[in-house]
Amino acid sequence: MSLPPLSMRPQLWRLFLEVAEHGSLTRVAELRDMAQPQLSRQLAEIESQCGGALFRRHGRGLVLTPLGEWAVPRVQAWLQQTDQLASDLRHGADLPLGKVRLAAIPSTLEKLVCPVIVQVHERYPMIQLEVIEALDSQMDEALSGGLFDLAIRYLQASSVRREDRVLQHVATYLVGRQGDALLRRKQIAFEKLKGLPLVLPRRPSVWRDLLDRTADKLGFELHVVLEADSLMVQKQMVLQGHGYTLLGPMALEHGAQTGALRAAQLIQPEIPRVVALTAQHVRPATQAQQVVADLVAAQAARFPRQFFDPLQGASEKISRA
């Protein structure tokens, strides 16, 4: 004969523990201000489902059977876990929770993203933050497909949407090796790119499209000798003399400071860009995504302009020659 399903209603098992503590159903009925027959029926329901008696009746009241003694610590532990779960759920209803996938261009990871990671862990432990290093050319499709929730990236000033958060405006630089004669000036006209071997991100890329359109308006086609969606590869190819690349200023800070790279601001036309925080536009933003976005914006606001464009105001000897 099969037993009925065991009821896991906490109120029934609290009755069991109260009766075990006081040894009297009459006393528990008085404390609860309830009719004793009602409590007796509830206790009988528990025992029926357990398949054995939890109490033995005697002249002075009730005492636990071996099954009842075995059950007491287990029921106490289960009720404690149940109470903690209920408390956590009530508390969690007021807190941001869930997974947030934050993509970021490599040059922002150390000083901008890492402090945000620490803040999330300390202040919002129910947010599961995932950080993905990516170039901005890799982010368009991922954001459109909802693979990333947020992205710290470069955007063309003309493509900034109302919902994007602009962290800073920056310039674009032609980057070559130390001692390159073409980069002796602080600025260089876009038309000077004609015929230069370039290392650029691969298509599809909004950034590549903009560069191609600009060159086309000036009557030439960019000479791309290598496509690489890796900042490290782009800079290494430049350092080894395989061509030039076009980068934002944060990506140049280390190479400029060590004197390994030389950079000149691209002008005529300028290619203005912004460092922006963008969000996926497939699903409505969650509370957790909003919290992470606010932390990123607040952290970025702490930095001066030189953080985003370290070449502005830098000495010619270090950065441009």
If asked whether residues 80 and 102 sit together in one domain, one would say no
If asked whether residues 117 and 86 sit together in one domain, one would say no
If asked whether residues 55 and 170 sit together in one domain, one would say no
Mean pLDDT in residue range 143-156: 87
- Model confidence over 98-116: pLDDT tens digits? 899 999 988 888 888 999 9
In a domain, 188, yes or no: yes
Q: Residues in the chain, how many?
A: 321
In a domain, 194, yes or no: yes
* pLDDT score recorded for residue 44: 87
* pLDDT score recorded for residue 151: 94
* pLDDT score recorded for residue 87: 65
The number of distinct structural domains making up the chain is: 2
If asked whether residues 56 and 123 sit together in one domain, one would say no
Q: Which residue has better confidence, 265 or 84?
A: 265
Alpha carbon distances (Å) from 76 to 28, 45, 54, 84, 262: 18, 19, 15, 12, 70
Mean pLDDT in residue range 162-174: 88
> pLDDT at residue 38 above 80?
yes
Confidence of residue 197 (pLDDT cuts 50, 70, 90): very high
Q: What is the DSSP letter of 181?
A: G
Q: What is the pTM of this model?
A: 0.60
Q: Which residue has better confidence, 262 or 3?
A: 262
Residue type, 189: A
User: Using alpha carbons only, what angle is made at residue 16 by residues 14 and 19, rounded to the nearest 5 degrees?
Assistant: 110
In a domain, 2, yes or no: no
Spatial separation of the C-alpha atoms in residues 249 and 257, rounded to whole Å: 12
If asked whether residues 107 and 58 sit together in one domain, one would say no
> pLDDT at residue 4 above 60?
no
Residue 201: give the domain boundaries: 95-321
* pLDDT score recorded for residue 214: 93
Where helices occur in 65-123 by DSSP H, the ranges are 66-92, 114-123
In a domain, 305, yes or no: yes
Q: What share of the chain is helix, strand, coil (3-state, %, to 5)?
A: 50, 20, 30
Candidate ranges 15-19, 46-50, 211-215; pick with highest mean pLDDT: 211-215
Domain boundary among 92, 121, 146: 92
Domain boundary among 92, 115, 141: 92
Confidence of residue 170 (pLDDT cuts 50, 70, 90): confident
If asked whether residues 100 and 48 sit together in one domain, one would say no
If asked whether residues 81 and 123 sit together in one domain, one would say no
> pLDDT at residue 70 above 80?
yes
If asked whether residues 253 and 127 sit together in one domain, one would say yes
In a domain, 1, yes or no: no
**CATH assignment at residue 106:** 3.40.190.290
In a domain, 22, yes or no: yes
Residue type, 122: E
* pLDDT score recorded for residue 243: 93
If asked whether residues 227 and 275 sit together in one domain, one would say yes
Confidence of residue 314 (pLDDT cuts 50, 70, 90): very low
* pLDDT score recorded for residue 174: 94
If asked whether residues 67 and 133 sit together in one domain, one would say no
If asked whether residues 117 and 177 sit together in one domain, one would say yes
> pLDDT at residue 140 above 90?
no
In a domain, 224, yes or no: yes
**CATH assignment at residue 66:** 1.10.10.10
Spatial separation of the C-alpha atoms in residues 130 and 115, rounded to whole Å: 14
Domain boundary among 61, 92, 123: 92
Give the residue among 26, 27, 55 at the shortest CA–CA distance from 43. 55
91 CA to centre of own chain:
22
State the Cα torsion 317-253-179-321 to the nearest 10°: -30
If asked whether residues 321 and 194 sit together in one domain, one would say yes
Share of the chain above pLDDT 70, in %: 88
- Model confidence over 235-251: pLDDT tens digits? 899 999 999 999 887 77
Confidence of residue 254 (pLDDT cuts 50, 70, 90): low
Confidence of residue 229 (pLDDT cuts 50, 70, 90): confident
Mean pLDDT in residue range 186-191: 93
Mean pLDDT in residue range 113-120: 94
Confidence of residue 307 (pLDDT cuts 50, 70, 90): low
In a domain, 34, yes or no: yes
